[in-house]
Structure 1
Amino acid sequence: MSFSFFARAVPAVQRSTVLTRTVQSCVRFQSTASTTPKRVPRVLPSFSLEGKVCLVTGAARGLGNEFCRAFIQSGCTELAIVDLKESEAQAAAAELVSNACVNSDMTPEDFNVIGVGCDVSSELSVQRAFEQVMDTYGRLDSVVASAGIVENYSAFDYPFDRIKRLYDINVHGAFFTAREAARNMIPQGGGSIVLVASMSASIINIPQPQTPYNASKAAVRHMASSLGVEWAKKGVRVNTLSPGYMLTKLTKTILAHDQDLKKTWESLTPMGKMGEPEDLAGAIVFLASDASKFMTGAEVRVDGGYCVI
């Protein structure tokens, strides 16, 4: 009705002019809308690892390898993958770079990812590994001590040589890694060290017996707090990441033959499920990056609520 009233009130020539201008205006509006670039999601800049040199032990596979993947996705292009067998570490480095270039504008030449062989239970081996990394990059910004093992023996049946090996890797290996990291970070003004413990540092796992493992992870957690205080004024932060039950490839293989154990673990977890390795990505990037720059001696648990009850 309003248009017909307008048509009668305006001469035909003017109506034609008005309509033409209206259509042109609409076309211009639609054209502008269609060419406007889509908004790119924004992320807090302090979470970025771009320009930072990172090192992860126990990184050829498992959670350590997942941490490396998270670092690459957060912008890190200079990364040392440290593991017991150098060939496996180098293969993991090549695979990581190859995957990072899929569906990306990055090329292999944009990355400097190396594989380094190291027995973390040997102080000398750790020192040599850090020397190699420093010779390659000249600095270290974030180090993750992820190398570790777990075994299940009852306390009466646990062989001494197995206990010693577990402590040499889980406890002494974490200490040697943290100490060499700090020695190289302090002269450059600081850095971030993350020791990977476990929720087992706070609770007693059931039904599997693993007393030495639980005690080793409690030692790692307290070690991080102690080193965090000792190096706080020197710019080196030391924090702990404590995962719960995670569905790594190894864990999946074990549980494939024991579905009752999987059901038990899930029933004891408030979220009713086990975690996926990628569920740790956000936490490890947070601790390694400047996003956690006022945190030291702290523990971040990612366990589906297991330790709450």
Structure 2
Amino acid sequence: MTLTFRVAPSLSGLSRATPRVASGGAIARRAAGIVALRTPHAIENQLRFASSQPPSSPKGGVAQNFSSPANGILPEFNLRGKVIIVSGGAQGLGVVQAEALLEAGAIDSVHVLDRQSEPPAGSQYQKIAQRARDELGTAVFYHQVDVRTGVDNLNSFVEEIAEKHGRIDGLIAAAGIQQETPALEYTAADADRMLGVNVTGVLMTAQAVARQMTRFGSSGSLVLIASMSGTVANRGLICPVYNASKAAVIQLGRNLAMEWGPKGIRVNTISPGYIVTEMVQKLFTQFPERETEWPKQNMLNALSKPEDYRGAAVFLLSDASRFMTGADLRIDGGHAAW
């Protein structure tokens, strides 16, 4: 039996200072917080990896690009004024992360890309869009596009967004599909569709955004949604091509990070564990044993919700992760750590 459903795909070195004898004046300067880094290489890297810092910024000092804290947010996590695209943002993990970005310092705007028509009134997406207008003083814009078959439209939308705002600062590539089918029954068409959305679609989306970042000479952060299934085989869940596609996303993220790092574009992946979405709830109706067995497979004996990944998205798109690229942030309740 073949079951097809959409799912939401489903910190840092500590430096130790060597004790040294310092003069009274030096101690006073340190107490006042005015000791500057003197290593040119350190200054270069600090400038390069500050996600809000254009590559052409003047050198000669450590870049401090943190805006004033908003609503108690640490300044490093503030996304004020950012323009961010979320693919697959109409439901599940994508729409929840879009809301988190809006909350993290009143983002200039979030643009959602999804293959389905704009969600109707009363949907989670429309509730978030209304909240953005009424409470957060910002906006969410919806663009219907298929990242696998509508690459020309994808590039046009992203270019229009960049033209409108004069830049793009970040991307969450969350568009993806799932299909549960035994390997012996998988057709070539099924495999092509799965890999086309989950791998080629992610590449095309990242490419479209990075192309505009390069065009405007701005730095930024790309977050690709992978899965713990890209690292492990899911016990009792028969989805070989899906798992292979997510392993490909993790490797794709590393390679894009290597290639685009000199441009000031960071690329990281998030690998969620099992996420309980509306679609997965329907799956539990058909396979009730999974609702009890899946939690037992991780160290927290629990299943995650889309809200559990809000902080990870804000972290990776903000200056809090400015020296992080080519990494996979696995958030799976310890599932793959056994």
Q: Indicate the residue corresponding to 1:305 in structure 2.
A: 334
Q: Which amino acid in structure 2 is aligned with residue 225 of structure 1?
A: R
Separation in 1 of the partners of 2:125 and 2:162? Answer: 17
Matched, 1:173 2:201: yes
Q: 1:58 aligns with which of 56, 81, 88?
A: 88
Q: CA deviation at 1:254?
A: 1.1
Q: Indicate the residue corresponding to 1:42 in structure 2.
A: 72
Q: 2:222 aligns with which of 189, 193, 198?
A: 193
Q: Indicate the residue corresponding to 2:99 in structure 1.
A: 69
Q: Which amino acid in structure 1 is aligned with residue 184 of structure 2?
A: F
Matched, 1:153 2:181: yes
Q: 2:145 aligns with which of 96, 118, 125?
A: 118
Q: 2:295 aligns with which of 266, 269, 274?
A: 266
Deviation larger for 114-123 or 146-155: 114-123
TM-score under structure 1 length normalisation: 0.81
Deviation larger for 110-119 or 160-169: 110-119
Separation in 1 of the partners of 2:230 and 2:211? Answer: 27
Q: CA deviation at 1:208?
A: 1.5
Q: Indicate the residue corresponding to 2:276 in structure 1.
A: 247
Separation in 2 of the partners of 1:245 and 1:53? Answer: 29
Separation in 1 of the partners of 2:96 and 2:84? Answer: 14
Q: Indicate the residue corresponding to 2:171 in structure 1.
A: 143
Q: 2:130 aligns with which of 98, 109, 113?
A: 98
Q: Indicate the residue corresponding to 1:27 in structure 2.
A: none
Matched residue SS, 2:204? helix
Contact 2:73 2:104 (C-alpha < 8 Å) held by counterparts = no
Q: Indicate the residue corresponding to 1:87 in structure 2.
A: 118
Q: CA deviation at 1:132?
A: 2.9
After superposition, give the CA deviation of every residue in 1:88-121 in whole Å (9 maximum; x if it has no partner). 399766431313466x4x4xxx323210011100
Q: Indicate the residue corresponding to 1:6 in structure 2.
A: none
Q: Indicate the residue corresponding to 1:283 in structure 2.
A: 312
Point out the structure with max Rg over C-alpha. 1
Contact 1:150 1:213 (C-alpha < 8 Å) held by counterparts = yes
Q: Which amino acid in structure 2 is aligned with residue 125 of structure 1?
A: N
Contact 1:82 1:116 (C-alpha < 8 Å) held by counterparts = yes
Matched residue SS, 1:183? helix
Matched residue SS, 1:220? helix
Q: CA deviation at 1:86?
A: 4.1
Matched residue SS, 2:185? coil
Q: 2:211 aligns with which of 167, 183, 188?
A: 183
Matched residue SS, 1:247? coil
Contact 2:114 2:145 (C-alpha < 8 Å) held by counterparts = yes
The root-mean-square deviation of aligned C-alpha atoms, in Å, is 1.9
Structure 1 unmatched ranges of 5 or more: 1-39
Structure 2 unmatched ranges of 5 or more: 1-69
Q: Which amino acid in structure 1 is aligned with residue 92 of structure 2?
A: G
Matched residue SS, 2:269? strand
Matched, 1:133 2:133: no
Q: Which amino acid in structure 2 is aligned with residue 84 of structure 1?
A: R
Contact 1:77 1:113 (C-alpha < 8 Å) held by counterparts = no
Separation in 2 of the partners of 1:217 and 1:113? Answer: 28
Q: Indicate the residue corresponding to 2:67 in structure 1.
A: none
Separation in 1 of the partners of 2:163 and 2:126? Answer: 20
TM-score under structure 2 length normalisation: 0.74
Contact 1:81 1:89 (C-alpha < 8 Å) held by counterparts = no
Contact 1:79 1:112 (C-alpha < 8 Å) held by counterparts = yes
Matched residue SS, 2:167? coil
Separation in 2 of the partners of 1:92 and 1:281? Answer: 16
Separation in 2 of the partners of 1:273 and 1:179? Answer: 36
Contact 2:159 2:212 (C-alpha < 8 Å) held by counterparts = no
Separation in 1 of the partners of 2:264 and 2:71? Answer: 32
